[in-house]
Structure 1
Amino acid sequence: MHRRTALGLLGGGMVATLSLPAFSWAQSTNEAAPEPAASEKRITIWRDPGCGCCDAYGRYLEQNGFTVTLVDDRDFAKRSVDVGVPQQGIGCHLSEIGGYYVSGLVPAEIIYRLLASRPAITGITLPGMPSNAPGMAAAKSGTLRTYAFGPDGISVYSDE
């Protein structure tokens, strides 16, 4: 069940398919997330060119079984808002996977749950660049709050 909340948070170019080296990041829960179907393991990430955390996040996703395509896009924030990410909830890049948009450095197990449960939302976002998120830290500490967004508004999707 999602809790409604207000977001008071942080605020097209070349395509490259990367095979990135492994990136280590500890799982945030002991709960095993369902493995997505092979066709749902392809993720496209629009990011600011040269963003180091986006490269690390791509490596992390590949380590967790995803096929990653990075697209350099200096206007990824505009693209994010255009697809429905709340302005105050924009993450450091925008991804598309399995018919959903994922904004920011969302942990793989949360993406797995999204794909398994298939809620009637447009996507999820982890706003800003939290220092304990995959791509920013070698290990998670503390809580990451992920929000759902879509036609019914904004709600807390995951708080872990």
Structure 2
Amino acid sequence: MKKIIVIATVATLAAAGGVTFTALTAAQDPQETSQNAAEAKAITIWRDPGCGCCDAYADYLEANGFSVTRVDDRDFDKRSVEMGVPERGIGCHLAEIDGYVVSGLVPVEIIERLVSERPDITGITLPGMPANAPGMAPAKTGTLKTYAFGDGGVSVYSDE
């Protein structure tokens, strides 16, 4: 009788362990995790087709784990204003990530903070084409002032 109880107990524990292992394996599927990460870092860039710094910037984003869709658009500046970028704040290209507008050569760490913090703004911009920004230089050097914009107006988002 004791032998039957021991066998039944072992069988029950083995079955429960298998269920637990299956549940953990399904929850931690590496393919699903990588798909979610790729979706979270998907970014679309509208750029002038002749702009080399936009390609260098897109390469920089890809090197930092973003999945970049490049769209040739000679009128990206008009699209920028339509999407809420202040006319005086237009950057060298326009991007969209996770519902936010990003204008210009904004460093990766600032974009990641934007989508992580989720502030109540339309987006951020690094106006112009600063020589020390990613895409213009091999890596960001010095400080860059990035602005937030939206219904509340324009304010400094980052000065680093």
Asked if Structure 1 and Structure 2 have the same fold, meaning a TM-score greater than 0.5 normalized by the shorter chain, the answer is: yes
Displacement after TM superposition at 1:126 (Å): 0.2
Instruction: State the distance in 2 between where 1:46 and 1:109 align.
Output: 20
- Write the distance in 2 (CA, Å) between the matches of 1:70 and 1:109: 20
What corresponds to 1:21 in structure 2?
none
TM-score normalised per structure 1: 0.76
> Contact 2:90 / 2:127 at 8 angstroms: preserved in 1?
yes
Secondary structure of 1:91's match?
Answer: coil
The equivalent of 1:6 in structure 2 is none
Amino acid at match of 1:80: S
Name the Cα RMSD after superposition: 1.1
* Structure 1 counterpart of 2:153: 153
Which residue number corresponds to residue 59 of structure 2? 59
The structure with the greater share of residues assigned to helix is 2
Give the match's secondary structure for 2:59: helix
Partner of 1:41: 41
2:129 maps to amino acid: M
Query: Match for 1:78: what amino acid?
Result: K
Moved more, 91-100 or 135-144: 135-144
Aligned AA (1:104) = G
Q: Percent identity?
A: 76
| Residue in structure 2 matched with residue 93 of structure 1 by the alignment | 93
Q: Distance in 1 between matches of 2:148 and 2:139?
A: 24
Structure 2 distance, partners of 1:121, 1:140, is 25
May I ask how many residue pairs the two structures share in their alignment?
A: 125
Greater Rg by CA:
2
State the one-letter code of the partner of 2:87.
Answer: Q
Code of the aligned partner of 2:43: I
Alpha-carbon separation, structure 1, partners of 2:151 and 2:51 = 31
TM-score, normalised to structure 2, is: 0.76
Report runs of 4+ in structure 1 exceeding 3 Å deviation: none
Look up the SS of the partner of 2:157 in the other structure: strand
- Separation in 2 of the partners of 1:155 and 1:62? 28
Who is 1:29 aligned against? none
Match of 1:131 in 2: 131
